[in-house]
Amino acid sequence: MFTPEKAIRRTNFYTRSIFTVPLVLLLSLLSIVCNGQTLEDYLAKGLKNSPFLKDYSTRLQSQAIDSLKVLAGFKPQIGVAADLMYPPAIGRFAYDSAITNGGYYAALLRVDQPLFFKKIAQIHLQSVFIQKLTTENNLKITETDLKEAITAQYITAYADFSQVQFEKVILTMFKDQQMVLKLLVEQGIYQQTDYLNLTVNITSRSIFGKQAHRQYKNDLAILNLLCGIHDTTTVELKKPDLLVRNSFDISTSPNMVQFKIDSLKNMNEQLLIDLDYRPRFAAFADAGINAVNPRRLPYNLGTSIGLSFTMPLYNGKQRQLEHKKVSLSENTRAQYRSYFENRYQQQKDLLFEQLILTDDLISDIKNQLTGLEKLITLYKIETNKGMVRWLDFLSVVNNYAQTRNELTQSEINRLQIINQLNYLK
């Protein structure tokens, strides 16, 4: 039975280990990657260049303005209104003068001030605050997804880069052996067919190297695209140093936080529904001209003050229906939350199990490589004396190269698992 703590300990041990390769191969690989680009370089550029993160930052600034707009709506509202109405009489046809008074002329400056609005303002400000929480959480989710995607692509590109470098090392070793074999063939220790066989292997390795380089260029271009980098040059990538850093506290997961925000939103929706049925009071005042006779306009300059009151009494039970609708939304939210909690735990357990199995596989492959390295050393000694068939030596070297590739792939799979664990949400 595995535990996360056990997996983390084993993860940290294997992350610090180096592939078991002959000394000449190891030194060659280390000398190549000493001044390369790191994962942190690409993460920094990706976060800086992301238009999605910039968009969310702009939204947060906009929502800060929304809060000010809510407060401004409860301050005195001042406006100007003007009306000019004259009903002409066409023969015996005209509006009744009792209704029109012969005309209507008004130009007023009006001030409206809501009263007893503190509770209403708080609920509306809460709505804006919940929108801000949602935007901040979406920003965090987007940033997390971007980091995971960049890290995954970097690992893929690094695997290609490692393959390119290893093919160079194997090709160099074959070419060095070609010079030795040529002398042994001239001495009659080995046959010309052995030399031709080695030449064919060198050609094959050269083709493999070109294919690996093409794949590396393609995956590096995808990495640059993710990070918003306009660069087509080939760079050297350093091996990412990944450890399991996630605390796996589900309450801090961005998805779980969103469920909490949605709960607050539903509660606030219930309060907003009730707001429409609360009594509303307002004070108003106006000043200006209000007249029915244009000849008396200079004498109809005045002012007025007053209070207004509104309260709905019945609208076909829409209030109860709206509350029921929000309750259904809350029930759906609770069901999704329960499903997410179970899925989160299952994903975590599965990834840790895969991590342990991968670590065991890496250990077995390294043991196999150790045996192959000893065998290659012995074969080199014996081939110089003509004691073994040259094809056997080539078979051992190719077997070593294949096993080394399997180790690289297992190490890459392990890094991808750690990446998924670190950004599990």
Please give the residue that has the higher pLDDT: either 284 or 6.
284
Give the pLDDT of residue 36: 59
Q: Which of 287, 311, 335 is the last residue of a domain?
A: 311
The CATH number of whichever domain residue 347 belongs to comes to: 1.20.1600.10
Please give the residue that has the higher pLDDT: either 327 or 180.
327
Same domain assignment for residues 26 and 150: yes
Same domain assignment for residues 213 and 89: no
Q: Which of 289, 311, 333 is the last residue of a domain?
A: 311
For 323-342, the DSSP string reads HHHHHHHHHHHHHHHHHHHH
Give the pLDDT of residue 25: 46
Beta bridge partners of 283: 113, 307
Task: Using the predicted structure, report yes or no on whether residue 315 has a pLDDT greater than 90.
Answer: no
Q: Which two tokens stand for residue 365?
A: 């492959």
Same domain assignment for residues 136 and 176: yes
Total count of domains within the chain = 2
Q: What is the mean pLDDT of residues 215-242?
A: 90
Task: Using the predicted structure, report yes or no on whether residue 226 has a pLDDT greater than 80.
Answer: yes
Task: Using the predicted structure, report yes or no on whether residue 13 has a pLDDT greater than 50.
Answer: no
**Cα 268 from Cα 265, distance rounded (Å):** 5
Give the pLDDT of residue 45: 93
∠ CA 239-243-248, nearest 5°, is 145
Same domain assignment for residues 70 and 80: no
Task: Using the predicted structure, report yes or no on whether residue 148 has a pLDDT greater than 60.
Answer: yes
Same domain assignment for residues 290 and 399: no
pLDDT in tens, 40-92: 999 999 999 999 999 999 999 998 898 888 888 888 888 998 888 777 877 77
The CATH number of whichever domain residue 84 belongs to comes to: 2.20.200
In which order are the strands placed within the sheet that holds 301-310? 77-85, 104-115, 280-291, 301-310
Same domain assignment for residues 165 and 287: no
Give the pLDDT of residue 108: 86
Task: Using the predicted structure, report yes or no on whether residue 12 has a pLDDT greater than 80.
Answer: no
Q: What is the mean pLDDT of residues 130-137?
A: 94
Model-level pTM?
Answer: 0.81
∠ CA 300-302-308, nearest 5°, is 125
Task: Using the predicted structure, report yes or no on whether residue 32 has a pLDDT greater than 70.
Answer: no
Contact (CB, 8 A) for 110 and 285: yes
Give the pLDDT of residue 98: 62
**Cα 66 from Cα 78, distance rounded (Å):** 20
Same domain assignment for residues 100 and 189: no
Same domain assignment for residues 261 and 352: yes
Give the pLDDT of residue 377: 86
Give the pLDDT of residue 286: 87
Domain that holds residue 290: 76-116+279-311
Q: What is the mean pLDDT of residues 323-339?
A: 94
Same domain assignment for residues 33 and 101: no
Task: Using the predicted structure, report yes or no on whether residue 37 has a pLDDT greater than 90.
Answer: no
Same domain assignment for residues 94 and 206: no
Q: Which band of pLDDT confidence, cut at 50, 70 and 90, is reported for residue 417?
A: very high
Q: Calculate the dihedral angle through the C-alpha atoms of 147, 153, 159, 165, rounding to the nearest 10 degrees.
A: -100
Same domain assignment for residues 329 and 369: yes
For 149-185, the DSSP string reads HHHHHHHHHHHHHHHHHHHHHHHHHHHHHHHHHHHHH
Q: Calculate the dihedral angle through the C-alpha atoms of 289, 291, 295, 298, rounding to the nearest 10 degrees.
A: -20
Give the pLDDT of residue 21: 38
Same domain assignment for residues 99 and 223: no
Q: Which band of pLDDT confidence, cut at 50, 70 and 90, is reported for residue 19?
A: very low
Q: Which band of pLDDT confidence, cut at 50, 70 and 90, is reported for residue 330?
A: very high
Q: Which two tokens stand for residue 425?
A: 């949400």
Give the pLDDT of residue 415: 95
Residue 307: φ, ψ to 5°: -125, 150
